[in-house]
């Protein structure tokens, strides 16, 4: 949990929100694991032996992979038991209910998200328009990679759940909100640094970039191609919001852009 809290802290910092004021929010909205512990008591729901913890992690990892490609609806204790060659009852010790399993799966997807997108950008000290680019770039990379390669995270879940009540839709909505806020905060920061033109609306631009990302995911599921076009389109969008402080030649191609970022990193 220590490690997880640290990641959430970085995530919240990336949204430039005061962490201390949000501790309750983190526990109720993001902390599926915490929610699960509160509900079932740690001894009942989470075996405390290291073997038990390892098994639980393996089950969640497999469940995330299934959900990424087929949605939460495709998950069942029975299917997981069969795929992992475990007994149903053995699996049931780790998750008291289908809902507890689903919450753990969404939380794991979020952790992949922090680890893959927010944490590296924070650690590498990406700022300004560069930070906006890397948020989009890492998002595309994440849906291209092996673990979250389906369409469910972070898009299908939102479209399917957004109007529903209950803890799972609430968590999915909060996650989507966090993502838009993170993009908008990066754009505002870039605007303060005069790398994004001062006339640009950060919220609107965040929604536009998000549209390009989910559109790219749609296209990829449809045509099985990579995100080359999407990267060019995002670069063109960044060009349209950038201030004169960023040299125009940097936007000529993704290659030119990467070279520009390398130079400015020195």
For residue 90, the minimal CB distance to a second copy (Å) is: 26
Which span sits near a second copy by CB under 8 A: 19-27, 46-54, 114-122, 201-209?
A: 201-209
- Between vectors from CA 73 to CA 67 and to CA 78, what angle results, nearest 5°? 85
- Between vectors from CA 184 to CA 5 and to CA 244, what angle results, nearest 5°? 130
For residue 205, the minimal CB distance to a second copy (Å) is: 11
Site membership for a second copy, residue 233 (CB under 8 A): yes
Q: What is the DSSP string of 113-150?
A: HIIIIIHHHHHTT--HHHHHHHHHHHHHHHHHSSTT-S
**Residues 54-93 interacting with a second copy (rule: CB under 8 A):** 69-74
Rounded-to-integer distance, Cα 43 and Cα 18, Å: 33
For residue 180, the minimal CB distance to a second copy (Å) is: 7
Q: State the first-to-last Cα distance of the chain, in angstroms, to the nearest integer.
A: 36
SS3 category, 254: helix
Site membership for a second copy, residue 164 (CB under 8 A): yes
Rounded-to-integer distance, Cα 17 and Cα 159, Å: 27
Q: What is the DSSP string of 58-77?
A: HHHHHHHHHHHHH-GGG--H
Q: Which is nearer to a second copy, 97 or 229 (CB)?
A: 229
Kindly tell me which residue out of 88, 177, 249, 264 binds a second copy, with binding defined by CB under 8 A.
Answer: 177
Kindly tell me which residue out of 101, 103, 176, 187 binds a second copy, with binding defined by CB under 8 A.
Answer: 176
Which span sits near a second copy by CB under 8 A: 56-64, 106-114, 159-167, 245-253?
A: 159-167
Site membership for a second copy, residue 163 (CB under 8 A): yes
Residues that bind a second copy (CB under 8 A): 69-74, 150-152, 155-156, 158-164, 173, 176-177, 180, 204, 207-208, 210-212, 214-219, 221-222, 229, 233
């Amino acid at each position: 949990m220590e490690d997880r809290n640290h990641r959430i802290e970085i995530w919240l910092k990336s949204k430039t929100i005061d962490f201390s004021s949000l501790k309750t929010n983190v526990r109720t909205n993001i902390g599926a694991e915490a929610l699960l512990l509160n509900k079932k008591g740690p001894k009942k729901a989470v075996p405390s032996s290291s073997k038990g913890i390892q098994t639980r992690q393996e089950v969640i990892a497999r469940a995330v992979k299934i959900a990424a490609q087929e949605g939460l609806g495709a998950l069942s204790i029975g299917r997981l038991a069969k795929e992992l060659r475990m007994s149903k009852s053995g699996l049931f010790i780790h998750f008291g209910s289908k809902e507890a399993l689903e919450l753990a799966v969404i939380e794991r997807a979020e952790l992949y998200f922090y680890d893959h997108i927010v944490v590296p950008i924070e650690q590498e000290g990406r700022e300004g328009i560069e930070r906006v680019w890397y948020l989009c770039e890492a998002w595309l990379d994440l849906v291209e990679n092996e673990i979250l390669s389906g369409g469910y995270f972070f898009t299908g879940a939102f479209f399917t759940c957004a109007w529903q009540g209950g803890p799972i839709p609430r968590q999915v909505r909060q996650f989507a909100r966090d993502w838009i806020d993170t993009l908008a905060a990066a754009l505002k920061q870039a605007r303060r640094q005069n790398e994004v033109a001062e006339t640009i609306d950060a919220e609107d631009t965040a929604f536009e970039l998000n549209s390009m990302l989910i559109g790219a995911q749609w296209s990829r599921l449809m045509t099985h191609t990579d995100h080359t076009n999407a990267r060019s389109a995002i670069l063109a969008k960044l060009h349209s919001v950038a201030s004169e402080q960023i040299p125009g030649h940097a936007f000529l191609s993704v290659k030119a852009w990467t070279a520009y970022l390398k130079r400015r990193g020195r």
